[in-house]
Structure formats: structure tokens, C-alpha cells
Structure 1
Amino acid sequence: MSKGRPDLRMEMPDDFYIPIPVETTNISSISPFLVPQTHLGSPGIFMSLSAFMLFTIIFGFPLNILTVICTAKYKKLRSHLNYILVNLSIANLVVIIFGSTTAFYSFSQMYFTLGTWACKAEGFMATLGGMVSLWSLAVVAFERFLVICKPMGSFTFRESHAITGCVFTWVIALVAAVPPLLGWSRYIPEGLQCSCGPDWYTVNNKWNNESYVLFLFCFCFGFPLTIIVFSYGRLLLTLHAVAKQQEQSATTQKAEREVTRMVVVMVAGFLLCWLPYASFALWATTHRGEHFDLRMASIPSVFSKASTVYNPVIYILMNRQFRSCMMKMIFCGKNPLGDDEDTSASGSTQVSSVSSSQVAPA
């Protein structure tokens, strides 16, 4: 805390942490589980965040549930890579049902009305779904690297590999989400106290918050991001080399441009939703005791939940086959967009016959 600034923070042993004047002694009068947190922000801020959460629910839930239903209904969508995309949609649904919905209601009430146990449950489920989502994106990127760049020669991505990748994401997510329930950090209200997540900003050696946040940052953000950037970086270099060899081919040149745009969108979407949250948590961990505005702390949290919308838009709706099947299901067998469904989903696609549909998640 800087000199001359009063300590505006008070920490409770187990349930929450809030910035309050040091002279306040009636904790129940400002508990995030009992009363509106208007001492932290105006009602307009709470209502704005509630509206944003409602937006993620209205658009995220239908997109993700349609992905699961379409895959179950249309046999041609049941390719090995699409298993991972369905896994991603299931993770998004977990975040929407247990995270976004709870946050929407709490922000509308301006405090966490559901109680301490619901807070722990929301924090755990949202973290679990978020980690599965993050690692699913990494698995998709790594699969594209293996199939397109062929570092292992004639490697073929099979059903067993897809299932292993899905199981891997849930195991890794459990490794990340369970520790706060067992005493390594904890789940408490964060930001404006209307949504719950890991304790990344209190100064309390009892919970070993610093080590847990560093673990999350490195293992659950830095590592997946490295895989994504490396995989897509190598993919772009491979496509560029193919395009250079086929300079006279307009189709190849167009494919390179389209895939480059898609990769940029994928990485940008990942960073937009997760970098603010990870960076803020890391900053708070490495600057213990420094003052920060909890209103600003809520923004990264709600942004991370927005990944439930951008994930299906990028990975599903930008895929012609998925989009066509969705349109047919919605419009009773007709596709008003007139998209061509004949999109390659094969994991054995050769780079020499590169096209945008072959390198995009299929």
C-alpha cells in the first residue's frame, strides 16, 4: 500500500475479501452474501455487467447446444476432430450454466445472493469449464499442426486420439480446479463481488494464493498459449511455403490468405478473452498490497466468460459443414445461405492440395 493511503481492505478467514473503511466493524452490513455492494460501484455498473452476462447467455447457449445436437443428428459431422469441438462446446455450456447465469443474476441483484456454498460451486464449475475450453483450443491447434505440417510423417489422427485429447482436457481441468476446494487457494467473490473465482488478490499465506495463481498462469494459460502460437505459427509457415511453390495457383494463394485471416482471428479471440484475466491476476499476485479498483477487476472476469460466444463463432460457424447443418436443422432441411457442404474433414489431408477448408477446424 502506498504511503499516506489508508488500508481499505478487510479479509475474512474463509468466505470473502472486500475493500471497506478500516473503521467499519459490522461486517454483515457489507457482506457480498447479504447486502448489495453499492459501496463498490453504482447500480448502473452492476446493471451493465448483468446485461453483458445476459448477452453471453442468449448467444452462447444456442450456439453451443446446436453444435452438440447437430453432431448427434448428422453422421457426417462425427469426424475425429469434431469430437474435440463438441468437447469445447460442452465446456462452454458448463461455463454458461454455472458461471454466466449465476453472474447475470448476481449482478442484477448487485450482490451474491446464493450464499457461500454456491460461490464455491460456481467458482469450481466455471474454472473447470474454462480450463477445458482453454486446453481444447490447444488440442485443436496441435492436431492441425500434426496433420498439416506432418512432423511425424504419415501420422493419421484417429478416433482414439480425439477421445484421448478430450479426456486429457478434463483431467487437466480437474487438476487446475480442485486445489481451491482442498485448501490450496480458495474460491471467493471477485471484483464487484457478484461472481466467484480463485482467490488471486488477497494477502494470506494460509491459502498459498500466490503459488496457486502462478501455477494457473503458467500451466493453464502460458502453456496452452505457447502450444497455440507454435502450432498455428508452423502451420502458417507451411502454407506460405506451399503457396510460394505454387505462385501461379490462384486457389492456393487465396487459401493462404483465408487461413491466415482465420488463424489471426483465432489467436486474437483467445487473447481478447483470456489475456486480461490472466494478466490482472498475475499483476495482483506480484504487487501484493497495492491498491486497485475492484470495478476494473470485474471486467477481465466477464470478458473470460465471453469466450463461450466467440469459440463457437470462430471454430463452428466459420466451418462450412457445421454451418450448413445448423441452417438445415433450424430451417427444416433448407439452407438459406446456400453454402456448399462438401468440406473436407479428413485428418489425412495433404498440404500439397491445401485449401482453406482443409486447414480450418473441420
Structure 2
Amino acid sequence: MRGIHPPEFQEDFWIPIPLNTNNITAFSPYLVPQDHLGSLGLFYAMSAFMFVLFVAGTAINVLTIACTIQYKKLRSHLNYILVNLAVANLLVSFVGSSTCFYCFAFRYMALGPLGCKIEGFTATLGGMVSLWSLAVIAVERWLVVCKPLGNFSFQSNHALALCALTWVFALGAAVPPLVGWSRYIPEGMQCSCGPDWYTTNNKFNNESFVMFLFCFCFSVPFSVIVFCYSQLLFMVKSVAKTQTESVSTQKAEREVTRMVVIMVLGFLVCYLPYASFALWVVNNRGQRFDLRLATVPSCLSKASTVYNPVIYILLNKQFRSCMMKMLGISGGDDEESSAQSTTEVSKVEPA
């Protein structure tokens, strides 16, 4: 099997089709079910999975935003960044996951080329904002806890400026495929859309765009996250060594270590499969690969709309307490005492 670009659709898609057929339109992901790429059970299972992501991702991120609006004590500089992350996740789950649920149910990109571009742009925009928000959270933790700038005080206006910057960076990654640098086409099993990393079409300069995404939109934020959290971890461990008899200090050291490991692993689970698979395809042109496997990285990136909030928000004592109170669940921390005793470090400290 190999990819063929039919003249009438070459701006809109790429799919592998049998070499012995001339009826290219019969395989168009915009016109017919892509049953040659997988079984009915697989398509319907993916549709069900996307429905779960749509419901869970939309619910948890809407709840995060609602809590911040209702409870003034949540309007701190760190929580502004968490809300920015929630807005990005909501964009992906509400548009991206719902679109994929619909298209997997029909087994092709039933929304047409325009719908593909909208879904691809929205998922890329929200995903990039989410990715850069994780880097901003790491920078905020480093500045507040490690104090590398001395008496510099991280304020809400700094957080808002960094949040705005995440959207600028995200637009820088999401807009180019709409204006000729790469393009948005159906990917994997042809029921979701993303940048074209399949082809070497010189008109769209796809390879250079993939390298841009890998370097600027994956390697840079990942390096920032690793640097900031490693500095935080080293600082906590150095304090723990000087207070070996302090039970609370040793407990804090273990909790921060766990938090750092979870955050870094969460980032890698979200974005490493997508980045590495795209890079492999670009550097192994002509090699055969299963498009069902190409669907996995896309699904993992969309699943981040659920497990990112679990890591960064539900492990936040203030958010967890307010969410439990909003939902009428007893057992949350007392609101007033939590507001009085919460420190900068404990805002992201796991329970």
C-alpha cells in the first residue's frame, strides 16, 4: 500500500490505497467509510472512547472554570494558569473529541474538508496552549519556590501575561497549515484531523513544519519543564538533608518528588507519542506503517484533556476542596482554614 494524491482531492487528504485500483474517489475519507483501514468494532470502540473523553473532559474543565468564578480565594496567579489550561482542554474536548466521536461513528470524516480544517485547527490550538501552559506552571513553581531572581514577586499580572503568551505561541503553530505551510488533513483512521506529516509535498513544505513543531512546540517546553522541576526537586532534597529529623520535611520531600515524576510523565504520555511518530514518518519516507497505530498518538493527546486536570487541578488542595463543596460532597478541607493556611508550595502539593 502507498499514499496516492488524486488530482481532485490532493489539497485535502492522503490515504494509502490498494495499488491495483484506479477508483481513487471510492476511498476518499470525505465520501465513504474507511472500512479498509479497520474493523467495525475498532471504529465503534474509538467512537465510544472519544465520547468518554468528550463527556469527562468537558465536565471536569467546566467545573474548574466554574469553581474559579465562584470562589474568590482561587483567583491566585497559579490558579490563573490552571484555568488557562482548563480553557485549552475544554476547547479540545468540546470540539476535537466531539468531532472525532461523530466521525468514528460514521467511520469517515463526515464533516468534509472544511470540518476537517476546523477540527485540526481547534485541536492543534488547544493542544499547544495546553502544552505551553504546562511549561508556564513549571516556570511559576520555579520562580516562587526556588526564588532564582531573589526578591522578585510573581504576581497575577505576570501570570496573565504568560497565559496570553501561550495563546500567541499556539496560534503560531495552529495558523500556518491554514495559510500554506503544511495543511490539515485526516490522519490515522481518517476520522480526526491534524497537520500533514505523511507527505513530502514541496508545495506545503510539510517536513519543515513538522521539524518546527518538534523543536519549538515539544522540545522547548519539555526542556523548560525538566529544568524547572529538577531545580525544585534539588532544592527540596537539599532542605531535607539539613532537616533529617523533621518528619514533616521528609514527607514534603517525598510528596514533591512524586509530584515532579507524575507531572513529567504526564507530559510525556500526552505529547511524546505524537511528536516521535511524526518525526519517525518524516525521517523514514517510503516505510510502511499501520494507520491504526497512527491513531494512537492523536488519541493520547486528546486524552490529556482528562488526565491533565487530574494531575494539576484535582491534586491541588484548594481546587479539590472547592470542587467538593460545589458538588455538595462532604469531607473537603474547611474553606476558611484552607484559605488562611495555604502556602505557595502547597498550592500544587499532592494530598
CA drift of 1:248 comes to 1.1
SS at match of 1:32: coil
- 1:303-322 correspondence runs (5 A): 303-322=300-319
What is the RMSD computed on CA atoms of the aligned residues? 1.8
CA drift of 1:23 comes to 2.5
The alignment status of 1:72 with 2:69, answered yes or no, reads yes
Does structure 1 conserve the Cα–Cα contact (< 8 Å) formed by 2:255 and 2:350? Answer: no
Equivalent residues, number: 347
The alignment status of 1:222 with 2:211, answered yes or no, reads no
Does structure 1 conserve the Cα–Cα contact (< 8 Å) formed by 2:38 and 2:292? Answer: yes
CA drift of 1:360 comes to 3.4
- Deviation readout 1:46-70 (Å, 9 max, x if unpaired): 1121121112112111110000000
Distance 1:251 1:137, change over 3 A: same
Percent identity over the alignment? 63
Name the residue aligned to 1:30: 27
Does structure 1 conserve the Cα–Cα contact (< 8 Å) formed by 2:50 and 2:97? Answer: yes
CA drift of 1:358 comes to 5.0
The alignment status of 1:16 with 2:13, answered yes or no, reads yes
SS at match of 2:35: coil
Distance 1:345 1:26, change over 3 A: farther
Corresponding letter in the other structure for 1:81: L
Does structure 2 conserve the Cα–Cα contact (< 8 Å) formed by 1:140 and 1:361? Answer: no
Distance 1:270 1:93, change over 3 A: same
Does structure 1 conserve the Cα–Cα contact (< 8 Å) formed by 2:316 and 2:347? Answer: no
Distance 1:15 1:324, change over 3 A: same
Name the residue aligned to 2:97: 100
SS at match of 2:15: strand
Does structure 1 conserve the Cα–Cα contact (< 8 Å) formed by 2:139 and 2:224? Answer: yes
Does structure 2 conserve the Cα–Cα contact (< 8 Å) formed by 1:79 and 1:346? Answer: no
Name the residue aligned to 1:183: 180
SS at match of 1:189: strand
Does structure 1 conserve the Cα–Cα contact (< 8 Å) formed by 2:325 and 2:332? Answer: no
The alignment status of 1:360 with 2:343, answered yes or no, reads no
- Deviation readout 1:203-231 (Å, 9 max, x if unpaired): 21111100000000010011000000110
* Contiguous gaps of at least 5 residues in structure 1: 1-6, 350-354
Distance 1:145 1:361, change over 3 A: farther
The alignment status of 1:328 with 2:322, answered yes or no, reads no
Name the residue aligned to 1:3: none
CA drift of 1:338 comes to 3.4
CA drift of 1:11 comes to 2.0
SS at match of 1:169: helix
CA drift of 1:234 comes to 0.6
* Contiguous gaps of at least 5 residues in structure 2: none
**Cα distance in structure 1, aligned partners of 2:333 and 2:42:** 42
**Cα distance in structure 2, aligned partners of 1:14 and 1:155:** 51
Does structure 1 conserve the Cα–Cα contact (< 8 Å) formed by 2:73 and 2:339? Answer: no
So what's the TM-score if we normalise by structure 1?
0.92
Corresponding letter in the other structure for 1:271: L
CA drift of 1:344 comes to 6.9
Corresponding letter in the other structure for 2:47: S
SS at match of 1:163: helix
CA drift of 1:84 comes to 0.7
SS at match of 1:207: coil
**Cα distance in structure 2, aligned partners of 1:340 and 1:318:** 16
CA drift of 1:8 comes to 2.5
CA drift of 1:346 comes to 9.9
Corresponding letter in the other structure for 1:300: P
SS at match of 1:229: helix
Does structure 1 conserve the Cα–Cα contact (< 8 Å) formed by 2:77 and 2:155? Answer: yes
Corresponding letter in the other structure for 1:78: R
- 1:234-253 correspondence runs (5 A): 234-253=231-250
SS at match of 2:108: coil
Does structure 2 conserve the Cα–Cα contact (< 8 Å) formed by 1:156 and 1:348? Answer: no
Corresponding letter in the other structure for 1:91: A
So what's the TM-score if we normalise by structure 2?
0.95
CA drift of 1:22 comes to 2.1
SS at match of 1:206: coil
The alignment status of 1:279 with 2:276, answered yes or no, reads yes
CA drift of 1:337 comes to 2.5
Name the residue aligned to 1:339: 333
Name the residue aligned to 1:91: 88
**Cα distance in structure 1, aligned partners of 2:21 and 2:167:** 43
**Cα distance in structure 2, aligned partners of 1:245 and 1:344:** 29
Corresponding letter in the other structure for 1:183: G
**Cα distance in structure 2, aligned partners of 1:66 and 1:358:** 18
Name the residue aligned to 1:290: 287
SS at match of 1:306: helix
Name the residue aligned to 1:203: 200
**Cα distance in structure 2, aligned partners of 1:259 and 1:339:** 20
